[in-house]
Amino acid sequence: LRNIEKIAQDFLNGVGRELHKELVTQDKLNNHTSYMSGPWLDMYLKNRKSLLDMNVFMLLHQDPKTEYNQQLVRATNLTCSALRFMKTLRAGLLEPTVFYSEPSKSNRHLFERVIRWVPPSLSWYGAHMVNAYPLDMSQYYRIFNSTRIPRRGRDELVTHEEGRHIVVMRKGNMYVFDVVDRDSNLLKPAEIQAHLKYILDDLTPAPAFPIGVLSTENRDVWAHLRDKLV
């Protein structure tokens, strides 16, 4: 035990102190995001394993209204909600994402009213006092119109904000249709529903060799195959 304590103390007084200084410096150089953002993304993009079991996903609860759980209705509502979220995000009107370590004991509205008056240099301490931790939202813009292109050694994230379409995959087939018009207006729910209904009613059989399967491969293998395809 004493040996472990000595090793820990030596670390704190030596290498640990220097590492902390480097982290503080990196933090000051990344005021627009978390100092971890760069290394974190680098770690994921260099990972060569299949994305099948490590990709981002969402778990959605059933709607309390049974009729809203019908596939076509649910797909339409989710698409419309996602597009409204996108528009709010791009307009800069999205509220900050805050994690409360004790939600039952936290007063979110009080925190939001008070924290806006706290100087930026002290805001973290103010949030910490009420167990509230604002999360890094600098990557939110990649939620939409973004793709991860397979490259050998390290993948590449690409975002085309001018894109106006979505891609729907069903039975190995891919369908594309616009959900935003040329004036940046969202399509009406009825129009989106009509497109989705067409896809659901389409009798095109599943392809014998669906190209989407290739994206489940090792990233270097997929990068090699993609280079041949494009």
Last residue of a domain, one of 115, 134, 153: 134
Show the domain range for 130: 98-134
Query: Measured between alpha carbons, how far is 106 from 108 in angstroms, rounded to an integer?
Result: 6
Q: Are residues 150 and 211 in the same domain?
A: yes
Closest to 34 measured CA to CA, from 46, 44, 26, 42 = 26
Tell whether 116 is covered by a domain: yes
Percent of the chain with pLDDT over 90: 64
**Shared-domain flag, residues 70 and 158:** yes
pLDDT of res. 128:
77
Question: Looking at the domain assignment, is residue 21 inside a domain?
Answer: no
Looking from the CA of 189 toward its CB, the CA atoms found within 13 Å total 11
Whether 78 and 189 share a structural domain? yes
Judge whether 170 lies within some domain: yes
70 and 153 housed in the same domain: yes
Are 104 and 207 part of one and the same domain? no
H or E segment and range at residue 127:
helix 123-129
Global confidence as pTM: 0.80
Highest mean pLDDT among 21-35, 42-56, 99-113, 175-189: 175-189
Residue range 143-158, pLDDT digits in tens: 999 999 999 999 999 9
Residue 192 CB-density burial (10 A; 0-12 exposed, 13-18 middle, 19+ buried): buried
Q: Are residues 76 and 181 in the same domain?
A: yes
**Total structural domains in the chain?**
2
Q: Supply the mean pLDDT for the chain.
A: 90
Average pLDDT over every residue of 82-87? 96
CB-count exposure of residue 82 (10 Å: 0-12, 13-18, 19+): middle
183 belongs to a structural domain: yes
Based on the fold, state whether residues 79 and 155 are members of the same structural domain: yes
Both 169 and 223 in one domain: the answer is yes
CATH number at residue 125: 1.20.1280.180
**pLDDT-derived band of residue 105, with 50, 70 and 90 as boundaries?**
low
**Taking the alpha carbons of 95, 177, 159, 183 in that order, is the dihedral positive or negative?**
negative
Is 40 part of a structural domain of the chain? no
β-strand pairing of 146-149 with 173-178: unpaired
Whole-angstrom distance, CA of residue 91 vs CA of residue 117: 23
In a domain, 196, yes or no: yes
Q: Are residues 152 and 126 in the same domain?
A: no
Same domain, 110 and 223: no
Same domain, 72 and 120: no
Tell me the C-alpha distance between 196 and 175, whole Å: 9
pLDDT, one tens digit per residue, over 204-219 is: 999 999 999 999 999 9
Same domain? For 180 and 81 the reply is: yes
